[in-house]
Amino acid sequence: MFHTKHLNLSRCVRPVGGPMSVNLGALILAIVALMTMNITTGARDAYTVDIVESEEFGNYLTNETFFTLYRYLSDPQDREISTCYGSCAKIWQPFYEESLTINPELKSIDFDVIARDDGEKQLTYKGWPLYLYSKDTKPLETNGQSIDGLWFVVNPQNLTR
């Protein structure tokens, strides 16, 4: 024989407009306030130059949409000169952003803009002109890494190969 107990649910359910709905309203306001603060303080994807981390390459630079930024070892670092023109520049597009917003882990002093021989502008990082690789078709791809032993992702802590 089964015995059933009658549960008194009046303690668990509150009528609409009671103290529970006030708490729910306060919770909703708090969530909206937190969401607004996140937007105004700069969400991670708002940086025109950002840092991502991978097991294979460590930290490396990306653009705002998380496409990998590369450097070209044929570019003379100290002189901030690009040597990639013509068919090279079609595959390796010079990277430039008019309004630079960087990840706080980076220093603005490390960035500069150069005037290319073709009249375009290009952003540099620690003297290295920055490029996007045309065969990176999705965010976070690094298909250009080590091509011809000359193209490398830009690791802000280690600018050696």
Query: Would you say the pTM of this structure is higher than 0.85?
Result: no
Q: Are residues 113 and 138 in the same domain?
A: yes
Name which of 111, 131, 136 is nearest 120 in CA terms: 131
Give the pLDDT of residue 79.
Answer: 79
Q: How far apart, in Å, do the first and last CA atoms of the chain sit?
A: 78
How far apart CA 34 and CA 38 sit, in angstroms, is 6
Q: Are residues 29 and 61 in the same domain?
A: no
Give the pLDDT of residue 42.
Answer: 42
pLDDT band at 100 (very low <50, low <70, confident <90, very high): very high
Q: Are residues 67 and 92 in the same domain?
A: yes
Q: Are residues 93 and 147 in the same domain?
A: yes
Full domain range(s) for residue 108? 45-153
Average pLDDT over the chain reads 80
158 in any annotated domain: no
160 in any annotated domain: no
